[in-house]
Amino acid sequence: MTIRPSPNPPIGLSATIVSTTQIALSWLHDGLNISEFRIDRSRNEPSGFATLGTASPEHRLYVDADLEANATYFYRVQASNGDRSAASIVVTVTT
């Protein structure tokens, strides 16, 4: 049995408001030892985070659409290879 180390957490998470109903997230990662990125969102940080979606190791961008206008959202990203990395910083965005 091969034991893989947990992946490093993503760094440099940033959010860009695309429109009143869309936010684009981007981050940096060394790309080592991961199978996917998991994107988490909450309306009540620090609790209430749930996985919103995933991105492949080659992609470091995720667009969250169909959001409410004038609402605040909290995001974090984790690398995964079966085990999750520590979470990135949390970014806060108001549409």
Q: What is the pLDDT of residue 2?
A: 66
Q: What is the pLDDT of residue 31?
A: 80
| Helix (H) / strand (E) containing 61 | strand 61-64
User: Please, are residues 54 and 37 in contact by the beta-carbon 8 Å criterion?
Assistant: yes
* CA distance readout (Å), 66 to 20, 32, 41, 60, 69: 9, 32, 13, 20, 9
Q: What is the pLDDT of residue 60?
A: 92
What is the b/e burial string over 64-90, where b = at least 16 CB atoms within 10 angstroms of the residue's CB? beebeeeeebbbbbbbbbeeebebbee
What is the b/e burial string over 35-45, where b = at least 16 CB atoms within 10 angstroms of the residue's CB? ebbbbbbbeeb
How would you classify the pairing of strands 36-42 and 11-19? unpaired
Q: What is the pLDDT of residue 47?
A: 80
Q: What is the pLDDT of residue 33?
A: 86
Ranges under pLDDT 50 in the chain: none
